[in-house]
Every structure is written in C-alpha cells, then in structure tokens.
Amino acid sequence: MAVSDLIPSYSFTVKLDMLSFGFKKVSNISSSIDIETIIDGGTNDSPVIVRKPKRNPDMLILEKGLSSTMKDLEFGLLFKEGRKIDNISIDVKRDGKTVRMFSVSGGVIVGREFSPLDSLEGEVMLESLKIAHTGITEIPLPFGI
C-alpha cells in the first residue's frame, strides 16, 4: 500500500458570484451563533442556554497568489472592499470528484491585504480577501459526484 493511498489528495474550486478563481488557501469555513446563559434560581443544577440574535458576522478568508494575467486584473477590479457578494460556493474534490460543497450567503468584502514585500526572499506575492458573511451551509452530497 502506497502512502498516497492513505493520504487523500484534495483540491477545491471557489466561485464568487459565479466567477471561478483559483485560491491557494481558504480559511474560516465556519459558522457560529450567539448564546446567552441564564442561571435560574431554586434547585436547578445547570444553566439554561438561550440563542440570541447574531451581532457579529462570520469571516471567510481567501488567499491567492498574484500574477500578471487578465484574470488577475479582472479580480482586482471586481473585488474591492465594500463589494457585496451574493453567492460564494466552495467545491472540495478528491481525485476529481466533488465530495463536499459549501455555500456562503450575504458576503461583503471587509478587508483586502497583500503579503509583505521582501527583496531578500523569493516568495510569491499573496493577496487575501476577508469576507464577512451571514452564514455558511454544507450542501449534502451522495458519495461524490
């Protein structure tokens, strides 16, 4: 048995408003709720947990390497701070088959950051987008499409 049989190779694609872009890394694929804990008097031994209205959005961070292509120029012109993104989809693939899908709704770009420029390092320049969103949903799939 080869090591590649034990460690699956995953890849992913990200679409922002139906436009597909290559990203190096996607972070914070998560969602949360706000809660309030109420301690009730009497003989209750545990607190009561109540869901509160959400006050802070969740954040999704997308990182990509920069190059000098028309697709990069399009990306830089379209996706600036303050832009609303209605639909973000993330497809996770294993051996070319989609095994997980995530859909993010109500996104707004709240930050854009570039990696440090260091002439002594031979690193690829990265761009990060920080996107606030109202929720992420995992779309259930059968055993891979």
Closest CA to 113 of 59, 32, 69: 59
SS3 letters across 16-31 = ECCEEECCCEEECCCC
Taking residues 125-132, report their average pLDDT: 88
Q: Is the pLDDT of residue 76 over 60?
A: yes
Residue ranges per domain, the chain?
A: 3-139
Give 9-52 pLDDT, tens digit per residue. 788 889 998 888 888 889 998 888 888 888 776 666 778 888 98
Q: What's this model's pTM, rounded to 2 decimal places?
A: 0.77
Task: Output 122 or 21, whichever has higher pLDDT.
Answer: 21
Looking at CATH, the fold of the domain delimited by 3-139 is given as Pnp Oxidase; Chain A (2.30.110)
